[in-house]
Amino acid sequence: DIQMTQSPSSLSASVGDRVTMTCRASQSISSYVNWYQQKPGKAPKLLIYAASSLQSGVPSRFGGSGSGTDFTLTISSLQSEDFATYYCQQSYSTPLTFGGGTKVEIK
């Protein structure tokens, strides 16, 4: 099974900050990474698919990059509604697996 490791597990940031989080796969997975945002008590929401493609309706301040084993999700200017937990997921092979999440908290 492919393991997905996210870092950091949590971070504190202020509104307007540029925020970057990473996801590392245990083997090369090309660009088959997707990113989700989850707020407390809510279902996850797709932000980015295929490493860098923005899902329809998602603000352009969200961006994804990477290929192979290392991937990055960047929020260019953090907004109050962005405080949430972010998960990466590999879709290269089954079983599909998720990272442990990065929780973005208010500084």
Using CB under 8 A, which of the segments 18-26, 62-70, 71-79, 94-102 binds another protein?
94-102
Query: What is the four-CA torsion angle of 18, 19, 24, 30, rounded to 10 degrees?
Result: -50
Q: How far is the CB of 15 from another protein (least distance, A)?
A: 26
The only residue of 5, 67, 83, 100 in contact with another protein, by rule CB under 8 A: 100
Site for another protein in 1-60 (CB under 8 A): 32, 34, 36, 43-46, 49-50, 55
Residues that bind another protein (CB under 8 A): 32, 34, 36, 43-46, 49-50, 55, 87, 89-92, 94-101
